[in-house]
Amino acid sequence: MLDTIKQFASEFFVTGDPLILGAQVSIGLAMVAIVFVLTFFKKWGWLWREWLTSVDHKRIGIMYIICSILMLFRGGVDALLMRLQLAMPGVEFLQADHYNAIFTTHGVIMILFMAMPLMFGLFNVVVPLQIGARDVAFPFLNSLSFWMFFFGAMLFNVSFVIGGSPDAGWLAYPPLSELSHSPGVGQNFYIWGIQISGIGSLATGINFIVTILKMRAPGMKLMKMPMFTWSVLSSCIMIIFAFPILTVTLFLLFLDRFVGAHFFTLDGGGNPMMYINLIWMWGHPEVYIVVVPAFGIFSEVVATFSRKKLFGYSSMVFAMIGISVLSFFTWVHHFFTMGSGADVNAFFAITTMLIAIPTGVKVFNWLFTMFRGRIRFTTPMMWAVAFIPCFVIGGMTGVLLSVAPADFQFHNSYFLIAHFHQVLIGGVVFGYFAGLYYWWPKMFGFKLNERLGKWAFWFWNIGFYVCFMPQYFLGLDGMTRRTYTYSFDMGWGPLNLVSTIGGFLMGIAFIFQVWQIAYSIKNHEKDTTGDAWDGRTLEWTIPSPAPMYNFAITPTVQETDDWWERKQRGEKPLAPIPDAKLEPIHMPKNSAIPFIKSALWFFAGFGFVWNWMWLTIPALVGIAICMLARSFSYDTDYYIPVDEVKRTEQLARGAKA
């Protein structure tokens, strides 16, 4: 009996690596600390009522952002571990299999569990406020989307300490991801963690398309929408076409591993190239799914801090729509070297070059917006300006990679690593940092400390170039991606050491950002205007942080940048609202079903990972019961009475008035 327990524990828990043991101890201590704090301060009820069961889009957005910051820490630690391993020739800091697991989890976490939730967090916080809505179209579905993401991310991350992480690369190409090469449960964690999270992402895309198309304020026609809202609409259109491909692809891989199918195994008559085509039919639109909202953020930030109307509004809209369409016609450039043929390579080379045109249009529009503007170099504006040279370099190297003959030299090298980090960090991360700083006062009612923010900015930017510029030269010198170690005579040591130093500078920048948030929470000055940056769009017309119902009176829009134009005509922020205009406000009630249902999906996925049908089947039955319970729930909404609305507004506006 004891031997059986020992054998099970050795298979269930990851053992033998001191780094993972340290992580297990840290996770255990953190969980004990959280339980102690919530129990000592008697906050369990508050946590359940105010957050875990909330359907308020603003709170859901904040939870997305918190998760994203935690995942940035986890993915960043993975990156620093890799850079330590590669800092000098012949380093034996990481075991080879641990290194493979780390570069796999780093890619998945940074794209799907850091960039995506940060994007969805800003969607939730900003879009309803920008279009004058009181909530999203489907508040219950919004809560379900978040918790599906959360529990999917937790299922993927738990593999680090239980069962073992996936190690077949962040896109899990067969045969590496098949049972023949990955017989453990790590790849099962990959499939079900991403699958559960992806369902939540697809639901979010549907929710925000309906919200934007059906819930805009009176007078806000499509061509009067703020540019960030346009970018969200473009991104969500891509989501609803791309994510079903990911869902089907992972399901087929699941069938290969669980029931002995042979969709992607050559010896069974399958074709691994079919997997590669399918995963990149999702994977390349995914790059634009996360970067297009960053373009929308830059448009808002540049216009606000240049104190000018965005140059070329219509061309920006058409450029976003063009990117949304073209993004589905470029996927083959990821495997030019795999024998697709000259005609196919030529077609996808041309489409890849074409997609650079609408992206270039945006860059020039931002530059023309800044031209002769009264620019204020706040932290959001600094991130927006820093993006331009960074993304230009990333775009130029992308065009080099789009030339099929050149790609035969660059493919699978560190040149490619440098390129996509240049685009994804310089475009996505810089963009979302700009948005986070810009809308932070609207979320919490105070600005983040500018001095600490600028320290973080410079460490991030200097560290970024120090880290990734050497990698272009390493790639040109023949260093391939996924290299675990290398010998002294390769000559790669000095550039790798410089790159590692850059990585740690970015780690210091993250510490500055955490310090900045903590310092600002303790020492902030409350924003009493609701318009912390002298903004242009509707979210700056209401108090900060926004009330539960957002708008006491649904606004009417007459033109683009309506709030800016009204201020030019003499309107003041937070003016008193006449009592006669107030009416009871219809709002959705909180619900525990999304949390419970998503937790059951976690257990169902965990059962599939270990092939424990005794766990999976009851969890799936519980999911069905949750669906039935929701179907027969009729008490799902309520009205906020006029007196409560009046008190809330007077509290926010009275002193200012």
Instruction: Express as a percent the part of the chain with pLDDT over 90.
Output: 86
The pLDDT value given to residue 42:
93
Helices (H), 41-95: 44-47, 57-86
Q: What is the mean pLDDT of residues 585-611?
A: 97
In whole angstroms, what is the distance from residue 403 CA to residue 240 CA?
Answer: 30
* Paired tokens of 75: 């993915």
Q: What is the mean pLDDT of residues 636-645?
A: 94
| Residues in CB range of 154: below 8 A, 6 or more apart | 193, 602
CA angle 366, 369, 373 (to 5 degrees): 135
Q: What is the mean pLDDT of the chain?
A: 94
pLDDT tens-digit readout, 129-143: 999 999 999 999 999
Can the peptide bond before residue 117 be classed as cis, meaning omega within 30 degrees of 0? no
Torsion of CA 539, 541, 546, 548, to 10 degrees: -100
Please check whether residue 587 is in contact with residue 637, taking contact to mean a CB–CB distance below 8 angstroms.
yes
Say how many Å lie between the first and final Cα of the chain, rounded.
Answer: 75
Residue 654 has pLDDT above 70, yes or no: no
Please check whether residue 211 is in contact with residue 160, taking contact to mean a CB–CB distance below 8 angstroms.
no
The pLDDT value given to residue 95:
87
| Residues in CB range of 571: below 8 A, 6 or more apart | none
Q: What is the mean pLDDT of residues 115-142?
A: 97
Give the closest residue to 429 by CA, choosing from 461, 467, 462, 393.
Answer: 461
Query: DSSP 3-state assignment of 194?
Result: helix
Please check whether residue 148 is in contact with residue 154, taking contact to mean a CB–CB distance below 8 angstroms.
no
Please tell me the number of Cα atoms within 13 Å of 131 on its side-chain side. Answer: 29
Q: At what angle do helices 356-370 and 379-402 cross, to 10 degrees?
A: 150
Q: Which CATH number fits domain 42-591+636-653: 3.50.50.60, 1.20.58.1880, 3.30.565.10, 1.20.210.10?
A: 1.20.210.10
The pLDDT value given to residue 195:
97
* Paired tokens of 202: 């697809």
What are the counts of helices (DSSP H) followed by strands (DSSP E) for the chain?
A: 23, 2
* DSSP assignment letter at 444: H
Please check whether residue 406 is in contact with residue 399, taking contact to mean a CB–CB distance below 8 angstroms.
no
In whole angstroms, what is the distance from residue 97 CA to residue 88 CA?
Answer: 19
Please check whether residue 609 is in contact with residue 593, taking contact to mean a CB–CB distance below 8 angstroms.
no
CA angle 387, 391, 397 (to 5 degrees): 160
> Which residues make beta-bridge pairs with 13?
162
CA torsion through residues 426, 432, 435, 440, sign: negative
The pLDDT value given to residue 268:
87
In whole angstroms, what is the distance from residue 650 CA to residue 636 CA?
Answer: 28
Please check whether residue 141 is in contact with residue 207, taking contact to mean a CB–CB distance below 8 angstroms.
yes
* DSSP assignment letter at 482: T
Residue 655 has pLDDT above 60, yes or no: no
Q: Give residue limits of the domains in the chain.
A: 42-591+636-653, 593-635
CA angle 541, 542, 545 (to 5 degrees): 135
CA torsion through residues 596, 597, 599, 600, sign: positive
> Which residues make beta-bridge pairs with 162?
13
Residue type, position 38, single letter? L
Please check whether residue 276 is in contact with residue 282, taking contact to mean a CB–CB distance below 8 angstroms.
no
| Residues in CB range of 602: below 8 A, 6 or more apart | 151, 152, 154, 155, 196
Give the closest residue to 563 by CA, choosing from 533, 545, 539.
Answer: 539
Query: DSSP 3-state assignment of 256?
Result: helix
pLDDT tens-digit readout, 103-112: 999 999 999 9
pLDDT tens-digit readout, 275-314: 999 999 999 999 999 999 999 999 999 999 999 999 999 9
Q: What is the mean pLDDT of residues 614-635?
A: 96
In whole angstroms, what is the distance from residue 557 CA to residue 222 CA?
Answer: 12
CA angle 4, 181, 615 (to 5 degrees): 45
Residue 657 has pLDDT above 60, yes or no: no
The pLDDT value given to residue 26:
86
pLDDT tens-digit readout, 301-358: 999 999 999 999 999 999 999 999 999 999 999 999 888 889 999 999 999 999 999 9
The pLDDT value given to residue 113:
97
pLDDT tens-digit readout, 1-37: 777 777 777 778 887 778 888 888 888 898 999 999 9
The pLDDT value given to residue 339:
82
The pLDDT value given to residue 9:
75
